Each structure stands twice: as C-alpha cells, then as structure tokens.
Amino acid sequence: MTDAERAGEILACLQQSHPDARVELDFDTPLQLLVATILSAQSTDRRVNLVTPALFERYADADALAAADSEELEELIRSTGFFRQKAKNLKACCQILMQEHGGDVPSDMPALTALPGVGRKTANVVRAVAYGLPGITVDTHCRRLSNRLELSGQNDPVKIERDLEQLYPESAWADVSRLFVWHGRYVCKARTPDCGACGLQDLCPWFSAQSV
C-alpha cells in the first residue's frame, strides 16, 4: 500500500466514524469566525462560544471593534486567557480591515496572515469555513494525529500542512482539517487516547508500537 493509498483509507475511515464532525465555533459572518478563531488560541471552543454572544452584541462589525474601549473589550474576553494581547490584536486587526478592506474579511492567504493575531491556522479556518476555499488547518490535534499516523514526521505546522497537501487532493483538504481536528480532540487525545473507540487501529503505527 502506498502512502497516498493509506492516507486515503485513513480519511475514508474518519468520514465514516465522524459524519457529524464540524467546526464548533459559533458564528454568523466571516468577521465573527475570524474573531472567534483568534480568541480560541490557548482556549477552548466551548469557552469562546460562551464569550462571543455578548461580544458580538456589543461590537456588531469591524468598525465598532476597531474603535472599542480596550478595557471594556478586555473584560468581555477575559475568560479566554491572554485577554490583553487578544484585545490588542482584535482592535488592530479590525483597524486594518477598515483601512484596507472596507471592513470586510479578505479571503486570500497573504492578506489574512498580514492581520495582527492571524497565522496560517486561523487563516485556513477562515478560508475553508467562511469561504469554502481549499486549505488544511494544522492545530495541535491535527499535528498529533499526523505524527501518530506517520503522515508527517514534522513538528512545524507549516511543514505538516505541506506534507498533508502532498498526500491528499485539494478537494479533500477541508475534510482533512475538519476530521483530523475532531478525531484528535475526542478520540486520539494527547494523554489518554481512546484507542478502543478508534477505527484506525490497523492503519496506525503508533497504536501498533504501543501494542508490542
């Protein structure tokens, strides 16, 4: 079996195992998704979803967030952690959106990653989920899964992204992102992976090594 064939079987198994896998951040617009993804750094989607309703009600668009009172903004997002830096990034990000993009969230990678607080992971989330564009989101769950399944031997997220892009056709990238993150979050956990509930045992070198 070639690497690409094994990668395809892994994806097919995940598609069967997790038909309801989805991005768990709540949002209605590309801007709300961008803000929520920035807030999710070093936090959980559940925590972010508790914070964003009041945040989005108070600041309805990029113009409002760009002009937000820093202390008020910090208080609204405090529970997501690193709230001072996040508030600073959100304000600066929205100021650039107003100055350079008419208040809209761009869809191209260079423009997105030029925004404060936005790296490739966040940009790929926005591109894939808000705009339906191809991209592989490599977060901590996707990185762990890629390493354990030996789809990539890299630790750098950008290098893992490139490895996965070589294994999967562009049309599958959105599924790879969604399913790898979901499986890593709920099954292939960092400390206590639930191998008994995993359908990838026959395709997983990490599981084979633990069973020796």
Helix, strand, coil percent values for the chain (each to nearest 5): 65, 0, 35
Which letter does DSSP use for residue 104 in this model? Answer: P
Phi, psi of 51 (to 5 degrees): -90, -40
Q: Are 97 and 88 within 8 A, CB to CB? A: no
Exposed (0-12), middle (13-18) or buried (19+): which is 37, by Cβ within 10 Å?
buried
Exactly one of 28, 121, 159, 189 is catalytic; which is it? 121
Residue 202 annotated to the active site: no
Residue 121 annotated to the active site: yes
Exactly one of 86, 91, 139, 163 is catalytic; which is it? 139
Q: Catalytic site residues?
A: 121, 139
